[in-house]
Every structure is written in C-alpha cells, then in structure tokens.
Amino acid sequence: SLCAAGASDVSYQELKDLKKANVLHIDVRERWEIDRFGKIPESINIPLGELMEALQMDPAEFKEQYNQKMPSRSDPVVFSCLAGTRSKQALGFATSLGFS
C-alpha cells in the first residue's frame, strides 16, 4: 500500500505516473522483506525504524548511506510498505519533521 501527503492513498497506476515526475519513492519495509519479496524498481529502502534519523541526516551523509539525493522538505515523496500501516506511520513522521 502506498501513501502520499496530498492523497493519503495512491494507486499503483498513480505511483507509476508520479515516478515519471521524479517523485522520490521510499519503501519502509525491512531489508529482509525486500530480500524475500523483491525491490520495487526505482525505490529506496529505508526501514521505518531508520526513517526519522534518515530524514534528519546531513544531505551528504544521506547520499552516502542511501545512494540517493536527500529530499528537501518540499520535494514530493511517496512511502510504501506491505499493507499500508507503516507507510502511514512514515507519512506521519515526515510531516512531523516539516515535510509537506
């Protein structure tokens, strides 16, 4: 299940369209889930337990750790997980840190 701030839930097709517009897709599943169920193309994996720290990192540190430019507080970001619970938590975390 997928979450974005503008619309809490995003369909698979909407995500595909958003990705064409360079939206950052953060998959908050655990690494073992990625290994077992597969990586979503063009997403970065930041397990939910690491997300708060990751979103507060120095941009250079974020790039080194996740091999991706750190999103600014106004960049569009979509979170995903297996069932939707963790992605909603991730959205709450990001919002609490000032991401719009």
Rg (CA), the chain: 12
Using CA atoms, how far apart are residues 34 and 67, in angstroms rounded to an integer? Answer: 17
Using CA atoms, how far apart are residues 10 and 68, in angstroms rounded to an integer? Answer: 22
Do residues 99 and 71 touch, judged by C-beta distance below 8 A? yes
Q: Which of these is catalytic: 70, 81, 90, 94?
A: 81
Using CA atoms, how far apart are residues 2 and 16, in angstroms rounded to an integer? Answer: 11
Residue 3 a catalytic site member: no
Mind telling me the catalytic residues? 81
